[in-house]
């Protein structure tokens, strides 16, 4: 007796997807499915492991090397564990709804084994079947794939369970039927063509960063008389851009206000921390987040109120380097400064009150800015370059720079 063999059934991994062009679809898949489709990049770079790996994995590693960067000994590789920790914290509810991972961009070298009919007429929703062992690469989001593998290989290390990970749905886009050249071009476009966000601007958006939290609370605590109305200073803070233009109605950027907070918190050491994320364990020794807020918000509110008339006319005080110097000076009045002369709030206010805040070369050239032949000032050096000089001039009125910024 001869049995007839099936001719239409394709076995493999079935995904529910929506096409957005003829050779690409989007959808979500369970995490175990993703890890089955896309091998661990770390494993594929382990020559000893590959030596005894199945042929499909070795061929996958060869193809991957044509469209991806190496993880080993690169910043990309060093980010994997931190990314895994971030994902675990998000899944465990530590960030509430304020966390996210982007969809992973996958490339199938070839065609799906089968494409089903629409599940709902007119919707485009259908299933595709990926034959087991199909060469699927992550051409964007590979660090995330490596992080998922690290989580799934050792969930206890990150304080999470297999059960929670197994319930995860991972968003993806999948390209198929493209040659290696097209896949490499997509990799290039995703990593180069987009305009990267300036790190300082991105930092100002980080709501878990202590510096950003305090900058927002400081802005909200100050009330000023602006154009005849009492308004919150927060309305005059630009939070979307790193630099102001002449036509912007705001008076200072959030990133510059954050520099003021960070230097007030850490003193001169804050200059090197202005572009780093600050967590609770990054606070000065013996200072809690509550203590920092309780001292800094009232202290800096007094300074912002005092300096507001100069901010309103876009004086030198609005430059990040000058705000950094003010923050370093304010650090001496916090009560936790470990070096330099301790200041009272009144002494700090008196030091600032004697300064000429006009944007003029005779006061600020060589201190926080440089002047051209016409005397026009450029404050482009930034907080790290000039913040320490400004602080010295503010704290030591009898020095050359101290006399210069006071017009003596």
Mean pLDDT computed over 187-206: 74
Rg (the chain; Cα; Å): 28
Nearest-angstrom CA–CA distance, 391 and 378? 18
369 DSSP assignment: B
Per-residue pLDDT of 388-400, as tens digits, reads 999 999 999 999 9
Between the two ends of the chain, the Cα-to-Cα distance in Å is: 110
Ranges of beta strands (E only) in 196-305 are 223-226, 229-232, 237-238, 252-253
Average pLDDT over the chain reads 89
Q: Specify whether the CB–CB gap between 256 and 323 falls below 8 A.
A: yes
Alpha carbon distances (Å) from 266 to 213, 275, 287, 384: 16, 13, 11, 14
Per-residue pLDDT of 320-379, as tens digits, reads 899 999 999 999 999 999 988 999 999 999 999 999 999 998 999 888 888 887 777 787
Alpha carbon distances (Å) from 205 to 233, 291, 300, 313: 18, 23, 21, 26
Closest CA to 349 of 391, 297, 282, 300: 300
Per-residue pLDDT of 127-140, as tens digits, reads 999 998 889 999 99
Indicate the pLDDT class of residue 54, thresholds 50, 70 and 90. confident
Per-residue pLDDT of 235-261, as tens digits, reads 999 877 777 777 888 889 888 999 999
User: Tell me, what's the pLDDT at 102?
Assistant: 94
The domains of the chain are located at 13-194, 201-404
What share of the chain has pLDDT > 90, as a percent? 56
Closest CA to 264 of 340, 337, 185: 337
Nearest-angstrom CA–CA distance, 368 and 317? 10
């Amino acid at each position: 007796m001869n049995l007839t063999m099936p001719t239409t059934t394709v076995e493999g991994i079935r995904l529910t997807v929506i096409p957005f062009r003829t050779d690409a679809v989007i959808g979500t898949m369970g995490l175990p499915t993703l890890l089955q489709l896309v091998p661990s990049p770390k494993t594929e770079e382990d020559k000893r492991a590959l030596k005894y790996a199945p042929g499909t994995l070795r061929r996958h590693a060869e193809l991957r090397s044509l469209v991806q960067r190496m993880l080993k000994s690169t910043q990309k590789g060093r980010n994997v564990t931190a990314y895994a920790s971030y994902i675990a914290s998000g899944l465990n509810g530590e960030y509430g709804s304020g966390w996210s991972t982007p969809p992973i961009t996958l490339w199938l070298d070839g065609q799906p084994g089968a494409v089903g009919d629409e599940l709902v007429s007119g919707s485009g929703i259908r299933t595709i079947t990926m034959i087991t062992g199909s060469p699927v690469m992550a051409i964007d989001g590979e660090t995330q794939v490596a992080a998922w593998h690290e989580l799934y290989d050792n969930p206890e290390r990150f304080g999470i369970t297999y059960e929670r990970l197994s319930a995860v749905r991972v968003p993806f886009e999948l390209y198929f039927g493209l040659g290696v050249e097209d896949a490499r071009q997509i990799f290039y476009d995703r990593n180069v063509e987009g305009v990267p966000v300036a790190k300082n601007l991105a930092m100002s958006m980080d709501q878990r960063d202590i510096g950003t939290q305090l900058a927002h609370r400081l802005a909200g605590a100050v009330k000023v008389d602006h154009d005849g109305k009492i308004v919150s200073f927060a309305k005059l803070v630009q939070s979307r851009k790193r630099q102001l233009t002449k036509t912007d109605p705001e008076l200072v950027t959030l990133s510059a206000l954050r520099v003021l907070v960070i230097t007030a918190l850490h003193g001169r050491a804050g200059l090197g921390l202005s572009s780093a994320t600050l967590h609770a364990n990054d606070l000065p020794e013996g200072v809690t987040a509550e203590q920092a807020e309780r001292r800094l918000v009232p202290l800096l509110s007094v300074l912002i109120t005092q300096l507001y008339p100069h901010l309103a006319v876009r004086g030198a005080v609005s430059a990040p380097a000058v705000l950094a110097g003010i923050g370093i000076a304010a650090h001496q009045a916090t009560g936790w400064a470990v070096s330099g002369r301790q200041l009272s709030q009144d002494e700090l206010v008196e030091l600032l009150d004697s300064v000429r805040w006009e944007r003029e070369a005779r006061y600020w050239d060589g201190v926080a800015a440089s002047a051209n032949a016409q005397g026009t000032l450029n404050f482009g050096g930034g907080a790290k370059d000039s913040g320490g000089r400004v602080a010295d001039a503010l704290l030591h009125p009898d020095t050359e720079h101290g006399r210069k910024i006071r017009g003596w």
